[in-house]
Amino acid sequence: MDEPLLQIRDLVVRYRRTGLFSAPPPPAVNAVSLALATGSTLGLVGESGSGKSSLLRAILRLVPVESGTIRLDGDDWLALPEQRLRERRRAIGVVAQNPFLSLSPRLTIAEILAEPMTAQGRVPAEELRLRAAEMLERCGLPGTFLSRRARELSGGQAQRVAIARALVLQPKLLILDEPTSALDISVQAQILNLLEDLKRELGLSMLFVTHNLKVVRHVSDTHVVMRGGRIIEAGSTEQISSAPAEEYTRQLMGYGRNPTGAEVASARRG
């Protein structure tokens, strides 16, 4: 493959000092470099305060960056002037952790899905409804849901709406911030299957943020582990999960059910 869809080099994000004479705080993101190839999934793992949200905000250009470069889809993303940003931002879709916080309770699902499109310019009402219905169906909900509001949906259904909204402008990069941690196990399985289907059908690249290493191992091709603003481990998912180099990664991998699914299944058969 030629150029990756997203390429980050030596990115540093530092928040403002708290007082006039206080020392500047340590950087929230410290010299992070990573690359995300087109059509692949990168898992981003780290505890609270590890800098993963700051990194996401930097990619979305919501926080000022101290130094480093981000190339996204051929653009020098950080140098892009404000006027062009709105138009180019459609290359990124975002799904947040809690769908009930990210979907407005006042709007119908149709209005929620139309909002990104109208923000990009005038679109005829007929086309809005058509495209909203089509994307909703892709995400596994019938068109009849368009007239409902978020509070009438279950957690899984609401997360499907949030995914549909993120995809309605046909982005190339989908950023998922803990998309399943607020959901039940069986619903989590449905959403992970849906993301896998969408990735294949639409050729999406995904940046998947989570603290659940088992989810990461299932969905991502490569992943990075962050701690204290730095990437402490990076590589292919197989490599990291079979031989984690860092103590912290080992702790994460060793947590919970130890026998893998395959062993459980064979124990059941045997």
Partner 1 sequence: MSLVEIKGLAIRFGSLHNPIHAVRHVDLSIERGTIHGLIGESGCGKTISGMALLGLLPQSARVSADAFRFDGLNLLDVAKSLRGRRIAMISQDPAAALNPVLRIGRQMDDVLKSHSGLPRFQRRAVAEELLAATGLADPRRVLKSYPHQLSGGMQQRVVIAQALATGADFIIADEPTTALDVTVGAQVLALLKRLVQERALTVLMITHDMDVVAECCDSATVLYAGHTVEAGRTDELLAAPRHPYTQALLAALPDAVAKGERLASIEGHIPSPFAVIEGCPFAPRCASAMAVCRQAKPPERDDGNHCWTCHLEPHHG
Q: How far is the CB of 102 from partner 1 (least distance, A)?
A: 19
Q: How far is CA 78 from CA 9, 68, 152, 189, in A?
A: 12, 9, 40, 36
Nearer to partner 1 by Cβ, of 245 and 265: the residue is 265
Q: Is 255 in the site for partner 1 (CB under 8 A)?
A: yes
Q: Is 192 in the site for partner 1 (CB under 8 A)?
A: yes
- Residue from 10, 154, 203, 245 touching partner 1 (CB under 8 A): that is 154
Nearer to partner 1 by Cβ, of 62 and 262: the residue is 262
CB 42 within 8 A of CB 222: yes
Q: How far is the CB of 220 from partner 1 (least distance, A)?
A: 9
Q: Is 265 in the site for partner 1 (CB under 8 A)?
A: yes
Nearer to partner 1 by Cβ, of 62 and 185: the residue is 185
Q: How far is CA 166 from CA 25, 32, 55, 190, 204, in A?
A: 34, 26, 19, 18, 12
Judged by CB under 8 A, the stretch of 22-30, 84-92, 143-151, 252-260 that binds partner 1 is 252-260
Measure the CA–CA gap between 249 and 245, rounded to whole angstroms: 7
Task: Please name which of 54, 127, 119, 128 lies closest in space to residue 85, comparing C-alpha atoms.
Answer: 119
- Residue from 40, 98, 212, 239 touching partner 1 (CB under 8 A): that is 212
Q: How far is CA 95 from CA 85, 121, 206, 242, in A?
A: 19, 22, 11, 29
Q: How far is the CB of 10 from partner 1 (least distance, A)?
A: 27
Q: Is 22 in the site for partner 1 (CB under 8 A)?
A: no
- Residue from 10, 127, 152, 184 touching partner 1 (CB under 8 A): that is 184
What is the identity of the amino acid at 84? R
Please enumerate in sequence order all residues whose Cβ is within 8 A of that of 195, keeping only pairs 6 or more positions apart, or say none. 163, 176, 179, 206, 219
Subset of residues 82 to 121 that bind partner 1, contact rule: CB under 8 A: none
φ, ψ (nearest 5 deg) of residue 110: -60, -45
Q: Is 152 in the site for partner 1 (CB under 8 A)?
A: no
Distance of CA 188 to the CA centre of its chain: 15
What residue ranges bind partner 1 (CB under 8 A)? 47-48, 154-155, 184-190, 192-193, 196, 211-215, 217-219, 237-238, 248, 251-252, 255-262, 264-265, 267-268
